Structure formats: C-alpha cells, structure tokens
C-alpha cells in the first residue's frame, strides 16, 4: 500500500470530470424499483485560478485559497434543469468531485431516500439534506410528489467561514411556476450534525451486492484481525513547499511505476516498510513510501486527524472497507467496544472528523494507493 499525499492533486483542472455510471449486473436484483430517469449530479468547489497557479501557491509554502464558488455539472446558479413528472420517482447519483470542500445538498420541498453508497446498497433512510464529502458518491431516490412547480436543488459548502451556495432547478414537466425564494438553507459548521448523519448510514444486509448473494452473507465482524495500522494525516512544509503527509511521510512518485517495479522485482524503486504502522509526529519528509501487507490478511486501520481542520477525506484505491467506528477524540483499544460489527457500510472513501475515525478492510495482492486529499 503506497501513501499518496502529493503537493497538488491532478484533478485541479477545471474541465468537467467524466461521468461513469456503474450499473448492476444482469440478473442481480436491485432493492428498489427502476427509476423513471437516472440523473448525475457532479458537485464541487471551483477556483478561478487554474491547476498550475494553484500548484504554484502550494509550492510557495502557502495553503490553497478559499474557493471562488460551487458548481453543479460545471455550471453555476440555476445552470441546470432536471425535468420530472408528477407521481414518478427519480434516481440522482451525487458525487463530490471538488478539491478541498465538503458540501451539503438538498431538494426544496422534497426528501431524499438514500439507496446506495459507492457500490453498496444501504438501508433506505430519508434525509432532508445530505453531506457529501470530498470524493464521496451517493445515490438517492427523489419522488416527484409535490404540486407542479419548479424547485431548487441547493448545494452549499460545509465547515467554511463563509457559506458558498449554488442551485439547479427541479422542473415538473407541467409547471409554469418559478421556485419559491429563498432557496432552503442548510447546515454550516456543525460537526456533530454531520457525524450523526454519517453514523446513520447502514448496510442493507438483505440486498444483493456485486454478486447474487446478499451483502450480509459476508460477516466481516467475525473475521480475524491480523494487523492494526494507525494512519495520521499532516500538512508539513518540506523544502519550502506545502506538502501533505501520512505518518510524517509525503509520497513522491518514482520514475518507474510501482506496480511494474513490484511485478518485475525491480530493485531500488521503493522499499517495503518505508512508512511506519503508527504516527511518529516527527517532521515530514519525502519518500516513495510503500507499506508491506499480507495477502488475504484482514487489517484494522485507524485514521487520525490532528490537523486544525474539521474534516478530511481518505480514499483507498482499488479497495472498499467497512467503516465500523467514527468519533471525535483520540482512539484507544477501548474504542473497539463501540464498533459496528453487523451492518457498517462498505465504501471506498470516508470522512475523517477531528481526531479519529477507524475502519477495517481486507488486504489482497498488489500495490494500491492510500490517498488523503486536504
């Protein structure tokens, strides 16, 4: 497992990210009726400065500036119309494709029924608004059950000193009415609200996942833990540049791709064990860091955030994991007593609130990236 914490992520470009829908395989039942239409909402913060300018800011030892706005499918205020028919239900696939900001989404006058999180079917709970952190994806069902009119779809920033907002329009096909102003407000800086919402998202144990058997047939809570890893994010200045690190190690890519080096046993490209299993709280340093792992092992990974930021996002390339616990404060062995060992959601990207979140995942073969976008 390599720790990816570059100076500036490659998705700083302002071009529209590609919409890639992952559909259920034929003959595998989906735990909700087919929607009347399937819409994609790519939401994210936006900077007027291009990616090279933002990289220059980081290379000067400064943090990224406050974003200039928020976009939905690359457009600003009321830039998109999503047409619905009264009495029908629609699926909205929502992804936060931004750079540095958690977002909240809500549908004026409508509730969202959560049906899927990053490939896992969830218990179908209803939400009036939903926090979507960096890199996360959700699917919600929205019933067009209101009198014909237009309604705002609102996206706003979370945990920022100034709330940035943008809107799209949910348009009933027989509507001649404009949406009622003002757009509904959402949560702003309340961490506890977001934490409680995250805890409420649970796995649907009876629904089928990627395979015909139910998701709940895999009893992750009974697996034998073979290793415990603690990973802490930090933001050190290294050689005058703003870098980001995991357990004090800031990743730098090698000239040879790591998977090729591993497959062909090319020496000198990386060294196993070059990132420690526990936080060191030392000064940050550069390294092509790779953590050794046992094939078919089952690891407990504790993610820790000691930075002066309310939330971070962590993503593990090529893997999903069970988010069995989430809390503020410092993790201890006693924290295991509060783990959800039954129906924790299985996902690939999680939010890390101040000082503590923990999860499990199964380890396979090969080299995979472990990313922490700040």
Do 81 and 170 fall into the same domain? yes
Do 238 and 344 fall into the same domain? yes
CA distance 70 to 42: 11
Higher pLDDT: 107 or 226? It is 107
Inside any domain, residue 210: no
Is the pLDDT assigned to residue 373 strictly greater than 80?
A: no
Inside any domain, residue 208: no
Is the pLDDT assigned to residue 7 strictly greater than 70?
A: no
Task: State the residue range of the domain holding 103.
Answer: 13-200
Share of the chain above pLDDT 70, in %: 88
CA distance 307 to 218: 35
Do 53 and 190 fall into the same domain? yes
The DSSP symbol for 67 reads P
The answer to whether 372 touches 312, Cβ cutoff 8 Å, is yes
Q: Which class for 186: exposed (0-12), middle (13-18), buried (19 or more C-beta within 10 A)?
A: buried
- Select from 200, 231, 265 the last residue of a domain: 200
Residue 344: which of 112, 122, 131, 113 has the closest Cα? 122
Is the pLDDT assigned to residue 220 strictly greater than 80?
A: yes
Q: Indicate the average pLDDT of the chain.
A: 88
Strands of the 321-326 sheet, one edge to the other:
285-287, 249-251, 245-246, 227-234, 298-305, 357-362, 321-326, 346-347
What pLDDT is recorded for position 112?
98
Do 40 and 141 fall into the same domain? yes
To 10 degrees, the CA torsion angle through 74, 77, 78, 79? -30
How many angstroms from the chain centroid is the CA of residue 360? 16
Is the pLDDT assigned to residue 252 strictly greater than 90?
A: yes
Element (H, E) at 259: helix 258-263
The answer to whether 105 touches 129, Cβ cutoff 8 Å, is yes
Do 101 and 23 fall into the same domain? yes
108: domain CATH number is 2.60.40.420
Report the sign of the C-alpha dihedral through residues 125, 127, 131, 136, in that order.
positive
3-state secondary structure 28-51: CCCCCCCCCCEEEEEEEEECCCCH
Inside any domain, residue 205: no
What pLDDT is recorded for position 358?
60
Do 170 and 265 fall into the same domain? no
What pLDDT is recorded for position 19?
61
| Proportion of the chain in helix, strand, coil states, percent, rounded to 5 | 10, 35, 55
Is the pLDDT assigned to residue 100 strictly greater than 80?
A: yes
Is the pLDDT assigned to residue 356 strictly greater than 90?
A: no
- Select from 200, 224, 259 the last residue of a domain: 200
Do 192 and 243 fall into the same domain? no
Do 97 and 140 fall into the same domain? yes
Is the pLDDT assigned to residue 181 strictly greater than 60?
A: yes
What pLDDT is recorded for position 34?
94
Banded model confidence at residue 25, pLDDT cuts 50, 70, 90: confident
Is the pLDDT assigned to residue 244 strictly greater than 90?
A: yes
Inside any domain, residue 6: no
Do 196 and 221 fall into the same domain? no
Do 91 and 136 fall into the same domain? yes
Inside any domain, residue 5: no
First to last CA, the chain: 19
pLDDT mean over 66-86: 97
Do 169 and 237 fall into the same domain? no
Inside any domain, residue 334: yes
Inside any domain, residue 7: no
12 Rama sector, left if φ>0, alpha if ψ -120 to 50, beta otherwise: alpha
Banded model confidence at residue 86, pLDDT cuts 50, 70, 90: very high
Listed in sequence order, the residues at least 6 apart from 86 whose beta carbon sits closer than 8 Å to its beta carbon are 144, 145, 146, 147, 148, 172, 173, 174
- Select from 166, 200, 234 the last residue of a domain: 200
Count of structural domains within the chain: 2
Do 173 and 239 fall into the same domain? no
In tens, the pLDDT along 306-338 reads 888 888 899 888 888 899 988 888 888 888 898
Inside any domain, residue 2: no
């Amino acid at each position: 497992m390599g720790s990816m914490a570059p100076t500036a992520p490659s998705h700083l470009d302002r071009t529209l990210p590609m919409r890639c829908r992952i559909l259920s395989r034929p003959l595998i039942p989906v735990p909700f009726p087919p929607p009347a239409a399937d819409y994609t909402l790519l939401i994210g913060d936006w900077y007027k400065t291009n990616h090279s300018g933002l990289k220059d800011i980081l290379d000067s030892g400064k943090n990224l500036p406050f974003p200039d706005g928020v976009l939905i499918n690359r457009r600003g205020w009321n830039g998109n119309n999503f047409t619905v028919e009264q009495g029908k239900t629609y699926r909205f696939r929502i992804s936060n494709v931004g750079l540095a900001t958690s977002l909240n989404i809500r549908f004026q006058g409508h509730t969202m029924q959560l049906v899927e999180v990053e490939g896992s079917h969830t218990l179908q709970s209803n939400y009036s608004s939903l926090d979507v952190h960096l890199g996360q994806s959700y699917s919600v069902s929205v019933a067009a059950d209101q009198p014909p009119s237009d309604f705002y779809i609102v996206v706003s920033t979370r945990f920022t000193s100034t709330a940035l907002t943008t809107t799209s329009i949910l348009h009933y096909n027989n509507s001649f009415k404009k949406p009622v102003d003002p757009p509904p407000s959402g949560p702003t800086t309340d961490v506890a609200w977001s934490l409680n919402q995250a805890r409420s998202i649970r796995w649907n144990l009876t629904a089928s996942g990627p395979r015909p058997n139910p998701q709940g047939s895999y009893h992750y809570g009974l697996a034998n833990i073979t290793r415990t890893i603690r990973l802490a994010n930090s933001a050190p200045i290294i050689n005058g540049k703003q870098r980001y690190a995991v357990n004090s190690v800031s990743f730098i890519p090698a000239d040879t791709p790591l998977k090729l080096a591993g497959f062909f046993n090319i020496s000198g490209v990386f060294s196993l064990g070059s990132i420690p299993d526990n936080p060191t709280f030392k000064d940050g340093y550069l390294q092509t860091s790779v953590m050794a792992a046992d094939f078919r092992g089952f690891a407990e990974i504790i993610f820790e955030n000691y930075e002066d930021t309310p939330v971070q996002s962590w993503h593990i390339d090529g893997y999903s994991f069970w988010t069995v616990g989430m809390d503020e404060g410092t993790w201890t062995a006693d924290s295991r007593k509060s783990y959800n060992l039954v129906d924790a959601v299985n996902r690939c990207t999680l939010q890390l609130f101040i000082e503590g979140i923990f999860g499990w995942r199964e380890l396979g073969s090969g080299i995979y990236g472990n990313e922490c976008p700040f």
